[in-house]
Amino acid sequence: MKKLILVSICLTGLFAGVAVSQVRQPSAAAHPYTIKTNQDVKEMMEALEKKPGNTADDIVPLAGVQMRVAVFHDEKRENDPIELHDGSDDIYYVLDGTATLLLGGALVDAKEISPGEWRSKTSTDGKKFTIKKGDLIVVPRGTPHQRTAVGKTFSMILIKVFAVNQPAK
């Protein structure tokens, strides 16, 4: 019995020594960094404005990362479904124009259009906000939201933070 206890103590000491001897290292970037200057973003907006309808252009590729960064330009956005994301947060930075943003409340008769992505024609108890150039809005996952831009153009940067890496398309 003493031998078994002595062997157990030695093994515990050995495993503890191995664990302590492992040196932690900083992680390496999984993807290259991206820099878009003010001029780059301006040129992206100008290119989007030349396209008809509501348009978007991704700044950071979606596949294999936990975020999406895109520039959106809306000519007219109304009566879109109210949406809710189970697995992603949205951050908006308004570049130009004004829009109405419905936030909060609860979806009515929500339909799951893909896993964790919900849409509804109506909601209850949401609040409407007018957002304009320079505003920064954080929409946490699970928050119903809807953007409306009528009779004016509206541009923003969307930063979407996903709970998991996004698959390749």
Alpha-carbon distance of 30 to 138, in angstroms, equals 25
pLDDT tens, residue by residue, 106-157: 999 999 999 999 999 999 999 999 999 999 999 999 999 999 998 778 999 9
Mean confidence (pLDDT) of the chain: 85
∠ Cα 29 33 37 (to 5°): 165
Judged by DSSP in three states, 107 sits in strand
Alpha-carbon distance of 56 to 90, in angstroms, equals 15
Alpha-carbon distance of 122 to 143, in angstroms, equals 14
Non-local CB neighbours of 125 within 8 Å, separated by 6+ positions: 104, 105, 106
Q: What is the pTM of this model?
A: 0.75
pLDDT at 142: 95
pLDDT at 85: 95
pLDDT tens, residue by residue, 26-41: 877 776 677 888 888 8
Count of C-beta atoms within a 10 Å radius of residue 58: 11
Alpha-carbon distance of 1 to 70, in angstroms, equals 67
- Cα 81 from chain centre: 18
Judged by DSSP in three states, 78 sits in coil
**166: which DSSP letter?**
B
pLDDT at 98: 94
| Percent of the chain residues past pLDDT 90, beyond the cut | 49
Least confident of 13-27, 68-82, 103-117: 13-27
pLDDT tens, residue by residue, 54-67: 888 888 766 767 88
pLDDT at 158: 94
Whether the Cβ atoms of residue 69 and residue 80 lie closer than 8 Å to each other = no
pLDDT at 21: 63
Domains of the chain: 34-162 (2.60.120.10)
Q: Is the pLDDT of residue 105 over 70?
A: yes
Whether the Cβ atoms of residue 68 and residue 160 lie closer than 8 Å to each other = yes
